[in-house]
Structures are given as C-alpha cells and as structure tokens.
Structure 1
Amino acid sequence: MNKSLGFLNGVYTLLMVGMQWGDEAKGKIADFITTHWKPKFVVRFQGGANTGCTVEVGNKKIVLHLIPAGIMHDAAGVFNVIAKGVALYPLVLLGEIQKLAGLGIKCKNLVVSGDATVVLPIHILIDRIWAEINGGIGTTGRGIGWAYEDRDGRRGITVYDLLDENELRRKIRANFAYHELWLKSVDQEVLKKILQSEYLENGRFYCPKNILNIEAMVKCYLQYGRKIAKYVRDTDKLLRRAVERQDKILLEGAQGLLLSKLVGLGTHPHNTMSDPSIYGLPEGCGLHMGDVDYVLGVVKAYATRVGHGSFAEEFGGARSAKWCEPHMAELYPNELEYYPDVSLNSPTPFWRGIMLRILGFEYGATTERRRRTGRLSIPGLKLAIDSCSPPNTEISFGLAVTKLDVLKGMSVVEIGHRLRYNGEGCDHDDYMLQKGHELDVMVPRNQVYRHCVGRYLRLPGFHQTVSRIRRYSSLPNGARGVLQCIADSANVSLDLVSVGPKRDQTIVVD
C-alpha cells in the first residue's frame, strides 16, 4: 500500500543527504521514498565503493556500494544512475550486478556515466601503502581518494576509456609513470602483500620486476569495459532532459555532509574526497542547485563515526576510539565476550557505546569496522542544515530520523545541544575563541573541533518496542520527546521516522 508523502507535493527533484559522518541508513530511506514517491530516476552522484548501504525488503537483503538503492525497483521501470561524480571500481560494480541477479533483479534500467572516474589497482595500492606505513587517516583502503586526485590532476581514467584499447593502454602507462618513482621507494614485501589481497584479485596485477603488470591491467579493464558497455550513457544529458520534462528525480547522496571535502563543512583532514552536499551536484551529475526543489536530511537518533577524526560527543572518548581501531577488533572480535556487563544504562559511557553499537549493528557495511558511537550532535546538525540552503535559493528542507528503535531501553537519552571549547585562544570569524566558550554550531576546523566536548540535554527515554508502530502519535512519550527535541533544537520540520531496517518500518509524520 502506497503512503502519501505530503511533504513532497509539487517536488520534482529531491536531494537526500546524510547529516552526520555517514551510515545514517540513507539506503533504507531512499528505498522507502522510491516505493511511495515513485521517482523515474534514482541517482548516485559521488563517492565510490568506500560506502555501503543495506536494503531489506521482505526476505531480500543486500549491501550496495555503488548501485543506488532504487535498484530494488528496477522491474517497475525506475532508472538507477551512477553519474560522473562517482569513483567506480568495475570489479565491485559487476559483483553487485551479479548479486542482484541472484535476487531476481536484472538491472535492465541501470545507467553508468561514461565520464565516471575509474578506480585502478594502483589507487588501491597507494591507499593501502599509506595505511601500512603510517596509519593513514582512517580511509577504507578502497583507493577512492587517489582516484579523485588523479582525476583532478588530469591523470584519471574514465569509463569511456575502458571501451578504447589504445586510449586505455596509453592512460594506464602514463598514470603508472607518474606514481612509479615513489612506488619503487616502498619495501617490496609491503607491495607484494597488498597486491596479493583478494580485493586486488589475489596478485593478478603483481609484477616482481616492475611492481605492476601493465598489460594485465589493460587486459582486465578491457574485459570490464565489455561487460559494462551496455549500461554506459551520457548521464549529464539524460538528467538535464529529465529536469526539463519535470520527471521525478531522487538524488542519493553517499556518506555524510560532515565528511564533505568542502572546507568549512567537512571535518578536515579526516574527510572524504567528494562532496555529497548540494554544492557537489554540478561536478557530480551535471545538475545545478536551482534544479533541486527539496532537501531531505537523514540523521540517526544517535551518532557514529568510522575511522580517525575528532568526535566530541563520543561515548567513552579516546578509549572508544582506540577500541574501534581495526587491530583491536582483530584481537578482541567479540565485544560482549570481553565486556559482558555492558548495557544502555551503564554508568560508564564507554560501555553504553558498546551496547549501542551491538544493538544498532554499527559495523561497517564496506569494511565491517566497528563504528564509534556517540550522542546526536545538534551543533553538527545545524552546520549540516546551513549547507543545505544556499543563498538566493528557495529550497525546502525536512528531516528523516532513523534508528529510533535502537534507543529502546535507554532510561535517559542524551543529546548534544552545545559544544564547549577547551583549547587555547584561537581566531574564529570576527572574535577570539577562548577556553570555556560554548558553540551552538560546530566549527569543523580541526584546530577547533578537536578541543571541543559535548554539553548534553538529558531526556527521558522509553522502554516500549516501537518497531511495529506506524503512526507518530502512537509512539511512546519518551520517543516523541527525543524527536521533538531534535526538530525544535535544529528548527526544522520532521518528515519521516524510521523504527526498523525494513521498508515498512517507517512513520510518515503528518
């Protein structure tokens, strides 16, 4: 049964973005909207296989890294577009197509931009070398940042190049020549270990003499190109014409706004190399800010962050960050076995964070890494909301809150409503930021944010199960109190509430 999404009346182009550091359950929301709003196009316009979204419909469950969540509606004629701003690793794309086929989804309406940047083995190799020798910055090791760097440095390879053997060989050789000198300074055993990983096809591209076997790469990527060719189109033109016809378009942002590469929005240097905000649309898919009618921000009822980077409202602070490092997960894979007494109401914040991670299954869809858990940040949410309303535009905004069900059983729900700065004097805007100052809006500059700690509102929680509730008014008082606090504090309208991972476990707020 279709639900009426009144907040989308008169909307033709909808941008859906994560308001935190990713993992906000955007895939579930995108699938729900596609079901009931019925867009003709669902578009992924940035990021790469460093992201993952899980979609559950009935007994079908799949994790997608590149293909938009709207692919579950392929049979209904919905076009799922991987636009030019995506960093595309062909091996992952073809793997997803194969998995979807196993679920009976044929991807007949999948479209891939010929101008999308292609991730090469060399990008993955460099990414993992940095992580191996100095810990990196906490990337997923998928080579996305290096692929974008080569694109911006005019050394990149596009999907169109996979269809032209001579051009592909020339560009791969030129790309390797650029990186070769540095690669030859790296220990041979480190190179060999990385190149023999499963993600790099178990040594298929390894060459003891020259590090990388260029011809093996050319041959492999030509094979990829032949398999992908039937999906390749000029997606910029496709989407411009769709806007002119007033077709419904859902733009599906990957990751989260606090990871944006934009200075002043993403928490640099621990950010991604693409821009999931409205400002990233021209680069990502050829549309403009003025083409967007509505922005739907997706935020969890709590917060998580993967990898390195400051996290002011983290349960357990530095102790949690260390516990969530990959090597700790290898040493202690079962959290409950090591900390059997954790609960959502533990007096120890670190323990509360562990329980929240377990109940919310906060483990990376791409890497299975532990996600660091914390309280929802109103200052961070305000920063993200500000980026969704560019000057001289009339774009409406609404909020979808997800994973409310995970908070069941928490007697007191903490929400970060301010940040307290505990660093030395620092220039900020037109005044000197001093120790003890409180901030209503997050300052993402590392020299400021790393010295901030959360200040919390303590709200009554709830103990009733909410996963079967479908009306906002039927939610427990504590649940509605949390949601109202979020909406009122950020001064936004609340459109959707997710109370479980399945499509129908969603409340439309009237």
Structure 2
Amino acid sequence: MFTIITGAQFGDEGKGKIVDLMSGEYDVVVRFQGGDNAGHTVKVGEDVYKLHLIPSGFLLDSRVLIGPGTVMNPEVLAREMDMLAEGGIELGPGKLGVDAKTSIIMPYHIELDGLRESLRTEKIGTTKRGIGFAYIDKVARDEVRMSDIVDRDKFLQRLAELAPQKEVAIKELGGDPSMVMDKNLIDKYLKLGERFAPYITDVSYEVNKALDEGKNVLAEGAQGTHLDVIHGTQKFVTSSSTVAGSACANIGVGPTRVDSVLGIVKAYITRVGEGPLPTELIDEVGQQIQQVGREFGTTTGRSRRCGWFDLPLLKKAIYLNGYTSIALTKLDVLSDIDPIRVCVSYELGGRTVAYPPEDTSELAGCKPVYEDLAGWQSDLTGVKEFNDLPQAAKDYVLYLENKMGVPIEYISVGPAREQTFKK
C-alpha cells in the first residue's frame, strides 16, 4: 500500500503527529520535498521532538528515508540525529537513508537567501535557510548533491566550478564573497560527508522494491497545499511542489502505485509570514485561538496568523491533491468559542465566488461569506472517540465533512499520540 500525506492549508496542520500515529502501520516513511524550512513536532508521553528533516516515523519500526526531491542542510540533519541520540534514539544506516541525488544546501545558499530577502521591498517571509536558492541550483543543474559531499575530490572539484558565479552573486547583493571558499566551512561539510556516507541509498529503488514485496509505504510532504510553488498564493509560497502528485516525481514512483491520499486539515486555518489569508481574525478570538493552539512556528518561532475555517481554499486543496480522506486536527482549540464561523464563499468585485481566484492579489481582496455554527464549552482533550464529543462538536465535524465531500478519517484533540482517534 502506498499512501501520500500532505497539508491541505498553509502548513503547520499537524502532519508530523498524524504520520507518527500512522507509521506503526507502515514499513517505510519517506520525505518527498522541502527542506529544513518546515518543522514538525511529535509528542509521545512527556517527550517532545521538534524536527525539520527526519520523517516522523523514526519512533517506531519504520525505515525513514529522505528523498531526492528534498534539499538538505547536512548540519541540520546532524543536529537532529545528535538530539535524538541524547534521548536514547539512535538512527543508524539501517534506520535512516538519504538519496544520493538529494540536493545539499550550501552556506552560500543561506547567505544569498538572507541578502535577497533584506533587499526586497515586499517581503516574501522566507525562513532565510537557503531553500529557494538550493532549488534554483537544482533546476539550473548547478547543485551539489549528497553523492558529492561524501567524495572529497569530487566535492572540491564541484566547488571550484561553482565558486566564481556564487562569489559574483553574493558581491552583487552586498555580501562578502570570500565565504564561498571559506576553509572552515569546506572542512565542516567534508566531515559531514564522511559521517553520512553510510546512509546513502537509492530511495526510488527502495520504495518500489518495498511495494513489490507487499510492504506499506507512507510519503510525507512538508508545508501545505497553498504554499505550492505552482498552485499556491504566488509569490508568497515555498520553493517546491507541496501537492500529492509531486510525491511520485520527487520520490521516483509511478502514479499508478498510489492507493490513498490523506489531507491534514486544522479545524481553523493558520498562516506564517506574508500573503493573503481571507478569514484572518485580528481580534480577541484570533488571539484566543493563537494562544490555546500554541500557534508559533516550529522552525522560526514566529506567531501564526489565525482565521476561521476556509472552505473555498479547502475545495481547491481537494482538487489539487485528490484526497481520499481527511485528518481533522486541533478540534479542541475551538472549545469555549461561540459561534464558530465557517467561510463558505467570498465576495469579490460585487459577485459571490465559491472557489479561490487564481490571482493572489484578488484573493487578498476577497471578503469571506460565513455560516455560523453553535460552539461548545467542553474540554475535548480527554475524548477518545467520536461519539463522546459534545453534540455541537460532532455537528461541526459532520458539517465540514459534508461540505468537503471527503470522509474525515481521523480527529485530533491534543498534541499527544493518544489524543487522536478514528472517526
């Protein structure tokens, strides 16, 4: 069985938690795009793991893989592995694999990212971790790959080829070009290459072979649908394709092998950084959702903007991903809010539209049209099954399910693994 999981909103929907919950049923969990600009938090008992690269299935028996569609900062990966080792979780080459074709985020990518963002008159909201510039090099065929940093001569030769253009680019943006060939940075990457050499694998081959053997594979995306570089709210998007179809291309698996696609959806909506958010709440309710939901970025610590559930954006996510089921997270955060509002359409230029406009500036001008539902005052964090939810909470879930036209398979009422149940 081959399952793909993606976020249906702007990221931060709780994918890591759901992957952790499901990974016990899967033999292989593979990350298929993005870099360490995305973060996920996994909570098991009193242990909390905040990760950016390692797929969530590391806690159970799954083999975890980083696919060639990702861009990877090896220093970040090393830090994550060291952090887990301190907690008694060792990720050896039998547990973790990194594709030889994975693009490496170089120090000059991070430098260029910060310099470019500082010069923008209209900020994108980049995490300044070099993700976009690493993807630019991938498309331009100027990337450094995982297979390069594990071979000293190959790595130095590749750097010598790329250094002149990177030095010019940094100088033009007002930076110090000498950092490109900084000996300390080069030595650091060579040592990282030595460390990760045993972890190199062919992810496409591993995944296809696992499927041939009847094993279960879970593909985990980063960020969310509306941050997709093609279909998202351009230019306030990430640098990779975040929708389900990209899992096949980025891992190297044919689309006929996909069995199910699970969308992760918050019971409301959040967004980090710039870009349109039609249902954004700039009031006490928005502050309550932010505080109760602990809506602060795993990667940046930035406050997330919060808003009511946006059905038009969700309908687009369903079309883009082909979801076969939904996991609804953070239902507990909406307790003690009455009424609870759901955006069912927009007013735009004197007309009502039920689907988001293509142009980002038009989406920014959309005024939400709401339907109100009754709230509930009960604490949901101890609920273990759907029938134990208060009636108003059940009505909200069933209302969303009916409007989305996709079955809700999982409901989450807290950060811990045991606080998620099947509907």
TM tier, smaller: over 0.9
Structure 2 residue 82 is matched with structure 1 residue 98:
yes
Counterpart-to-counterpart distance in 2, 1:138 and 1:364: 12
1:259 maps to amino acid: L
Structure 2 residue 33 is matched with structure 1 residue 65:
no
Query: Which residue of 18, 21, 44 maps to 1:32?
Result: 21
Q: Counterparts of 1:44-59 in structure 2 under 5 Å?
A: 44-59=31-46
Measure how far apart 1:445 and its partner are: 2.3
- Please name the residue that 1:127 is paired with: 113
- Please name the residue that 1:315 is paired with: 281
Query: Which residue of 143, 147, 159 maps to 1:160?
Result: 147
Structure 2 residue 412 is matched with structure 1 residue 446:
no
- Please name the residue that 1:236 is paired with: 204
SS at structure 2 position matched to 1:28: helix
Counterpart-to-counterpart distance in 1, 2:137 and 2:182: 17
SS at structure 1 position matched to 2:401: helix
Structure 2 residue 314 is matched with structure 1 residue 415:
no
Query: Which residue of 266, 269, 277 maps to 1:300?
Result: 266
Measure how far apart 1:240 and its partner are: 1.3
Measure how far apart 1:170 and its partner are: 2.2
Structure 2 residue 171 is matched with structure 1 residue 184:
yes
Counterpart-to-counterpart distance in 1, 2:247 and 2:217: 13
- Please name the residue that 2:254 is paired with: 288
Which stretch shifts more, 150-159 or 212-221?
212-221
The answer on whether the counterparts of 2:248 and 2:254 sit within 8 Å (CA) in structure 1 is: yes
Question: Which structure 1 segments of 5+ residues have no match?
Answer: 1-11, 192-207, 317-349, 390-395, 422-434
Q: Could you say which structure has the greater relative contact order, defined with CA pairs below 8 angstroms and 6 or more residues apart? A: 2
SS at structure 1 position matched to 2:4: strand
Measure how far apart 1:211 and its partner are: 4.2
2:297 maps to amino acid: G
- Over alpha carbons, which structure has the higher Rg? 1
The answer on whether the counterparts of 1:312 and 1:450 sit within 8 Å (CA) in structure 2 is: yes
- Please name the residue that 2:137 is paired with: 150
Structure 2 residue 1 is matched with structure 1 residue 15:
no
Runs of 4+ in 1 over 4 A off after TM superposition: none
Counterpart-to-counterpart distance in 1, 2:172 and 2:380: 57
1:221 maps to amino acid: Y
Counterpart-to-counterpart distance in 2, 1:101 and 1:180: 37
- CA distance change for structure 1 residues 209 and 462 in 2, over 3 Å: closer, same or farther? closer
Counterpart-to-counterpart distance in 2, 1:283 and 1:268: 22
SS at structure 2 position matched to 1:184: helix
Measure how far apart 1:214 and its partner are: 4.0
- Please name the residue that 1:431 is paired with: none
Paired residues, number? 420
Query: Which residue of 56, 64, 68 maps to 1:84?
Result: 68
1:420 maps to amino acid: E
The answer on whether the counterparts of 1:173 and 1:214 sit within 8 Å (CA) in structure 2 is: no
SS at structure 1 position matched to 2:280: coil
Structure 2 residue 420 is matched with structure 1 residue 506:
yes
Counterpart-to-counterpart distance in 1, 2:185 and 2:53: 21
Q: Deviations over 1:467-505 (max 9, x none)?
A: 111111110111112111111111111100000000000
- Please name the residue that 1:219 is paired with: 187
The answer on whether the counterparts of 1:155 and 1:174 sit within 8 Å (CA) in structure 2 is: no
- Compute the TM-score of the two structures, normalised by the length of structure 2: 0.96
Structure 2 residue 245 is matched with structure 1 residue 279:
yes
Q: Deviations over 1:203-252 (max 9, x none)?
A: xxxxx673433433332211111111121111111111112222100111
SS at structure 2 position matched to 1:210: helix
Q: Deviations over 1:59-108 (max 9, x none)?
A: 211101000010111xx3x1001111111000100000011111111113
1:267 maps to amino acid: T
Counterpart-to-counterpart distance in 2, 1:295 and 1:507: 18
Q: Counterparts of 1:291-440 in structure 2 under 5 Å?
A: 291-316=257-282, 350-389=283-322, 397-421=324-348, 435-440=349-354
Counterpart-to-counterpart distance in 2, 1:64 and 1:50: 10
The answer on whether the counterparts of 2:345 and 2:355 sit within 8 Å (CA) in structure 1 is: yes
Counterpart-to-counterpart distance in 2, 1:23 and 1:483: 20
Pairwise CA RMSD of aligned residues?
1.4
Counterpart-to-counterpart distance in 1, 2:124 and 2:163: 24
Counterpart-to-counterpart distance in 2, 1:64 and 1:42: 15
Structure 2 residue 218 is matched with structure 1 residue 253:
no
- Please name the residue that 1:202 is paired with: none
SS at structure 1 position matched to 2:49: strand
Which stretch shifts more, 447-456 or 252-261?
447-456
Measure how far apart 1:279 and its partner are: 2.0
2:166 maps to amino acid: H
Counterpart-to-counterpart distance in 2, 1:260 and 1:209: 32
The answer on whether the counterparts of 2:171 and 2:177 sit within 8 Å (CA) in structure 1 is: no
1:242 maps to amino acid: A
The answer on whether the counterparts of 2:272 and 2:302 sit within 8 Å (CA) in structure 1 is: yes
1:236 maps to amino acid: S
* Identity, % of aligned positions: 32
- Compute the TM-score of the two structures, normalised by the length of structure 1: 0.80
